[in-house]
Structure 1
Amino acid sequence: MTGSKIRRSMPLFPIGPVMQLTDLTARQIRYYEEHQLISPARTDGNRRMFSLNDIDKLLEIKDLIDQGVNIAGIKQLFSISNQGPETLSKNKKTERRLSNDEIRRHLRKEIVQAGRFNLPSMNQVNMNRFFH
């Protein structure tokens, strides 16, 4: 791990400042932890301590919730991103690796377009259960 990655993963922030930075309540943050979307470190006194990576993830969760994705959908998106870059075959000769952000953008675009035109998306059967 590089120095920057190590610094971003260091648990430095108690829940109070994290609430201010993310505009989330303590209850929401604990709820996301219960659903294993985040895993803050704990002090010897069992106090949660958050890293910059945890804060980034909370902001991402908040954005997804605002877009209408529920907890199950967020878990699905996070599991895709934790598997590493996905491979997309454009044709038999050319393969391109997609970044996690590209995967999320593609999925969101498909979901938005399907809803906008009232058309079933190619993943509608699998994706409907992830939305409110």
Structure 2
Amino acid sequence: MGDQVRRNMPLFPMGIVMQLTELSARQIRYYEENKLITPARSEGNRRMFSFNDVDRLLEIKSLLERGVNLAGIREVFEMKEKGINQMPPYYKKEPSEADLHKHLKKELYQAGRYGKTSLIQGELSRFFN
């Protein structure tokens, strides 16, 4: 039995998946309603999740925490299915400290350049002596 077959085997009931992902049953059902996941069903019509389903739920949770909406998550998954594993540039991670410093310095410079006072200039000027 190959690894991919094992990862697709429906093994976990909803309760175990809730513990593994720290998502509520309602959240998991919502992602299923929006066709982000498709768990298998048992003879009793209970949802059964595979390792891949759990991984996908964890990825959904991570993307939501980074501010990506459901349409964006769907787009990310479509890109992965097409073999494009790179995140679109508009889903960048949090900016680094250096990026923030550069952006704030630029804002201060631009505000002073055009004779306008930035709303946050007084607060930020203490960082750029």
Q: TM-score, normalised by structure 1?
A: 0.67
Give the TM-score taking structure 2 as reference length. Answer: 0.69
Q: 1:104 aligns with which of 57, 63, 87?
A: 87
| Aligned twin of 2:117 | none
Distance in 2 (CA, whole Å) between partners of 1:25 and 1:31 is: 10
- Structure 1 runs, 4 residues or longer, greater than 4 Å off: none
Distance 2:15 2:87 in 1: 29
Q: Distance in 1 between matches of 2:26 and 2:56?
A: 16
| Structure 1 residue 84 displacement after superposition | 1.7
C-alpha deviations, 1:35-92, integer Å up to 9, x for none? 000000001111000000000000000000001111111011111111123xxxxxxx
CA RMSD of aligned residues (A): 2.3
Alpha-carbon separation, structure 2, partners of 1:3 and 1:107: 36
In 1, distance between residues paired with 2:72 and 2:57? 15
In terms of Rg, which structure is larger?
2
Q: 1:54 aligns to what?
A: 53
Indicate conservation of the 8 Å contact 2:36/2:74, yes or no: yes
Partner of 2:83: 84
Residue 108 of structure 1: CA displacement? 2.9
Q: Does 1:29 align with 2:67?
A: no
CA distance in 2, matches of 1:55, 1:10: 12
Higher relative contact order (CA 8 A, sep 6+): 1
Amino acid at match of 1:37: L
The CA distance in 1 between the partners of 2:91 and 2:72, in whole Å, is: 11
Q: Are positions 1:66 and 2:49 aligned together?
A: no
Q: State the 1:104 CA deviation.
A: 2.1
| Cα deviation code 1:20-42 (max 9, x no counterpart) | 00000000000000000000000
